[in-house]
Structure 1
């Protein structure tokens, strides 16, 4: 576990993840174009984007279309997760490898990476990092294949979960949407889409990302930790060796940390009086976990959310759905559905509209420049 953890961390460090920015930007552009072409299919667009981007980051696989994500080419996330859960109940700790009783991610994916590395026709990706550092990581080919597969599974499911929550936040808090779009218009304008070169000049968008992860964590509970010694908490004795599950959802709403409006979506809580990001907060959120088991993909996830949100808000208006009488369709702001390991919002209606007349042609030009 430690060797795989170290290898994954090295491939996802903050000073490394910039190599994934071209893939992330291309997928954000494609997502925005899809949303404007068929806005009623936003759920399918989010699922496609999640699977396509993560498989690009992990394997430098070409972008997927909707047919690729239908389950004919790749197993659904739920199917793969179910197989992992069954395996976790039966694996033998004494075996030297992380074996799954013969169940592995499709070998063609990692074999394809090796072939393209040999021919010099691949961009840097998570798997190339693993292969280049096999000796220092002390991982076998099978362990590399399994680690790459688990990164794809975890990244796809959590990534697909956050964007629907983002839509809900924009529907419930239109003033946040407006302020974010004002910042984007000031910094980026309307002649091109946002990119990572704009990152430092978009502090409010960065705050929206932080607040989204705090307000609606993709998971309710964190990874279990075991107490290393006897302890007491609030008058209760916790013996050494006790498994403790952090209540992420509740911690993210602690009014002592996030203020009396902790239940509300308010990105401004992360900004100082000058509009820059605050540096005095003890924590942004707890959605990535704690300690040695903190999410190794947190920097990648932050970058993905930043560029997706920036491009979506630059290109679209997100509005509440209305019924046949023109009345706003009610929304359940607090309801959720647990699906596998993540928490999804209840079904809701929304309208996704172009922000200005030229936006679709600009997105088409951006796609053409990237060969999409």
Structure 2
């Protein structure tokens, strides 16, 4: 969307030369690696080569260098924390020094610092966090239970009508639930709905805004004349377009007397201290998080197809606790430990953000005899932490909810320094220090996803209602007569090509009644 193609060849050539000279000077000035944590050096300036799965690279390097790695990539110092104790020590106990986010110049032009997930701790962050906490805290999201229950019902109904496009229906459900919770809109009928498409585009913009490019390595480029930097004009225009679109959504759907997020932001405008534009961007940023829900639910679908025995355990629990006369609700959650264990295992097994969100050290620091310079980017290797065999057993690569169930069939207590069985870090001294937050799927530390609790609810009710109503089976290969099991080691792009067979388990009045146009009724 915004790439090196937006920079003139002359500028590119000049930048390349300056980068080489700058790196040489920097290397001479700083001398050797000194007391930095160990790690591979790689090529000058570019650093060690990383694959498309850097979390696996970091895990492999850790076998030689230890739990704390330090590398230089494009001149930027990066520290990788491969162990839970190291991550807790630095991102939790020393959290005040690691609360900043990496600043991306492109993000500043595209969002003007209004994308909540990229806001550094400060006045704006506190205002946005306070606003999101009011409606999206663990207790606040209970007001959206009926929305998520309805979306899970509609998903099941649509799947029973046509299972060939199950992946599109998953995406529709993820987007529709967030749009309803934020703007009090009726369910979206298709993934091709114009509003869903708009937010899909916005999600891609947010990704491009924090994807390192030439401008991030050569900040001085932003001060060149516009004819040499057309990307600036494009980014500025896009910000104005998005602000106008988000503002119209707030005007059209924010004046309602409901408990949805956008109306709340308008009603409490003076109390929260957010401008109209800031509120509009906060609401939109929350909706854009549906992309993470979508990917998580896609992986869940594939796991259930590949592991019919786990699916059967879920259904046996649902039959025993809920029965066939009604659909499960959030009121059943405490009595459905295996469903909860399945959701917990999903977060462990396929973390949507394997390296969490990057943070930057505010000041120089020392840890275990190693020097961590100010401005070092810090990454927690959640993928590796979630595969700790001492904690989760030897079958860490397998999808196995039973690892979270004790001998009495109850959900096991959370392990030390985790929340609900998944890795977590304390948000730091300026926030309620008694709270911990799930980071396996969303984010971590202070800049965690504001809709994390809402997303957890979506995953739970999706599992419960889907498996209450249907049995999922792999399609049988007509040539071999064997089921076509999805490759759970492949990418999700390959996985969505999987076909599925649905066998109805229950036919109820709820499943036969359309709820597509039913008002949310907050």
TM-score tier after normalising by the smaller chain length:
0.7 to 0.9
The corresponding residue for 1:312 is 466
The corresponding residue for 2:269 is 134
CA apart distance, 1:363: 1.1
Question: Can you give the 5+ residue segments of structure 2 that lack an aligned partner in the other structure?
Answer: 1-123, 223-237, 423-439
Distance 2:242 2:518 in 1: 36
Q: Is structure 2 residue 255 aligned with structure 1 residue 100?
A: no
The corresponding residue for 1:79 is 201
CA apart distance, 1:107: 3.0
Q: Is structure 2 residue 348 aligned with structure 1 residue 348?
A: no
Q: Is structure 2 residue 315 aligned with structure 1 residue 181?
A: yes
Alignment of 1:155-174 (within 5 A): 156-174=290-308
Distance 1:224 1:63 in 2: 34
CA apart distance, 1:352: 1.9
The corresponding residue for 2:434 is none
The corresponding residue for 1:48 is 172
Identify which of 153, 161, 180 aligns with 1:29: 153
The corresponding residue for 1:112 is 252
TM-superposition CA deviations, 1:296-346 (whole Å, max 9, x none): 2221111111111100000011111111132222431111157xxxxx846
Distance 2:496 2:354 in 1: 15
Q: Is structure 2 residue 299 aligned with structure 1 residue 151?
A: no
Q: Is structure 2 residue 482 aligned with structure 1 residue 327?
A: yes
The corresponding residue for 2:444 is 290
Identify which of 151, 159, 184 aligns with 1:60: 184
Q: Is the 8 A contact 2:315 2:467 kept in 1?
A: yes
> What TM-score results when the alignment is normalised by the length of structure 1?
0.85
Q: Is the 8 A contact 1:161 1:218 kept in 2?
A: yes
Distance 2:167 2:143 in 1: 28
Q: Is structure 2 residue 114 aligned with structure 1 residue 4?
A: no
Q: Is the 8 A contact 2:359 2:377 kept in 1?
A: yes
Q: Is the 8 A contact 1:77 1:157 kept in 2?
A: no
CA apart distance, 1:237: 4.3
CA apart distance, 1:366: 7.9
Q: Is the 8 A contact 2:365 2:374 kept in 1?
A: yes
How many pairs are equivalent? Answer: 350
Q: Aligned in 2, Cα 1:132/1:255: closer, same or farther, shift over 3 Å? A: farther
Q: Is the 8 A contact 2:343 2:459 kept in 1?
A: yes
Identify which of 189, 212, 223 aligns with 2:346: 212
CA apart distance, 1:289: 2.8
CA apart distance, 1:137: 1.9
Moved more, 123-132 or 34-43: 123-132
CA apart distance, 1:163: 1.5
Task: Determine which structure has more spread, i.e. the larger CA radius of gyration.
Answer: 2
Q: Is the 8 A contact 1:318 1:352 kept in 2?
A: yes
Question: Secondary structure of the residue that 1:245 maps to in structure 2?
Answer: strand
Distance 2:242 2:154 in 1: 33
Distance 1:126 1:223 in 2: 24
Q: Is the 8 A contact 1:255 1:262 kept in 2?
A: yes
Q: Is structure 2 residue 503 aligned with structure 1 residue 364?
A: no
Q: Is the 8 A contact 2:203 2:291 kept in 1?
A: no
CA apart distance, 1:29: 0.6
> What TM-score results when the alignment is normalised by the length of structure 2?
0.62
Question: Can you give the 5+ residue segments of structure 1 that lack an aligned partner in the other structure?
Answer: 93-98, 118-122, 339-343
Q: Is structure 2 residue 128 aligned with structure 1 residue 17?
A: no
TM-superposition CA deviations, 1:37-93 (whole Å, max 9, x none): 111111121121112111001100111112xx315344344421333356667999x
TM-superposition CA deviations, 1:195-240 (whole Å, max 9, x none): 111111111111111111111112232111123442346x864323
Distance 2:297 2:321 in 1: 23
CA apart distance, 1:369: 12
